[in-house]
Amino acid sequence: MTRSLLPSRREALAVKRVIDVLGAGIGLVVLSPLLAGTAAVILMMQGRPVFFRHVRPGLDEVPFTMVKFRTMRAPRSGEVWYQSDEQRVTRLGRFLRSSSIDELPELWMVLCGNMSLVGPRPLLTEYLDQYTSEQRRRHDMRPGFTGWAAVNGRHALKFEERLELDVWYVDHWSLALDLRILGMTIMQVLRRSDVATTQELSAVGFPLPGVEGVQLRSAVPTDGGADETDPPEISADGSV
């Protein structure tokens, strides 16, 4: 029985990829005026760089470069980048985060095959060695523009709870589930729910990359979009 199910799953995954290509391609074309306008406004108000780039683990933990619109300024003298998120998010950045516009460049990653429209949100490479073997299975699917954890509490969830939801998605994936998540995501974006413009790094209980003995102090909602992402996606520009 298992063998008879495998081909159907492979075929469904092939359909998922077709949906990704069509969805991302159409999205980039339709949203191109918004993308160009956002880039121009960022350039005028914040200067260069327009984009935030960071390497994240993708399918099977293969690294890829994730791109978002930049929403933060660089740390000033005396500021610790992982403790100054609230101060460094710009006024424009808060709007981009609350509206999830900062995440739109990720559609290019979807089109290129590094990401999917739906999947576990891409987190820091430094977390890989901290995962249990069960948690690492979140990388059995391409990382997503949105995901099951993102529509089920997102930043209100503890870090381990988000990882559990990611693994649940991998185990229960179906095209119907993806469509459900996309629909829930659209509703959340329209309502601007489960989104916080900053994340204060503490309730997550995960070691801060590169800082021994420091615990991630998460804030509630912001990955990316993600928070900028989703569990605290701390990055070079400090985006979470």
Question: pLDDT per residue over 130-147, tens digit each?
Answer: 899 999 999 999 999 999
Please report the pLDDT score of residue 197 as a whole number.
57
If you average pLDDT over residues 174-184, what whole number do you get? 96
Q: What are phi and psi of 77, to 5 degrees?
A: -55, 130
| pTM of the predicted structure, to 2 decimals | 0.80
Q: Which residues, in sequence order, are CB contacts of 62 under 8 Å at separation 6+?
A: none
Is the preceding peptide bond at 63 cis, omega within 30 degrees of 0? no
Is residue 236's pLDDT more than 50? no
Largest CA distance in the chain: 63
Region of poorest pLDDT, from 19-23, 44-48, 73-77, 201-205: 201-205
Q: What are 2-13's pLDDT values in tens digits? A: 455 555 888 999
- Find the helix or strand (DSSP H, E) in which 63 lies: strand 63-69
| Tokens (6 digits) for 70 | 């930049």
Cα end-to-end distance, the chain, whole Å: 44
pLDDT at 88 (0 to 100): 82
Mean pLDDT on 121-138: 91
Virtual torsion, Cα 127, 75, 192, 24, nearest 10 deg: -60
CB-CB contact of 50 with 56 (8 Å): no
Residue with tokens 């935030």: 52
Evaluate whether 167 touches 88 at the Cβ level (below 8 Å): no
Q: pLDDT by residue (tens digit) across 69-86? A: 999 887 777 665 555 667
Average pLDDT over residues 109-120: 97
pLDDT band at 179 (very low <50, low <70, confident <90, very high): very high
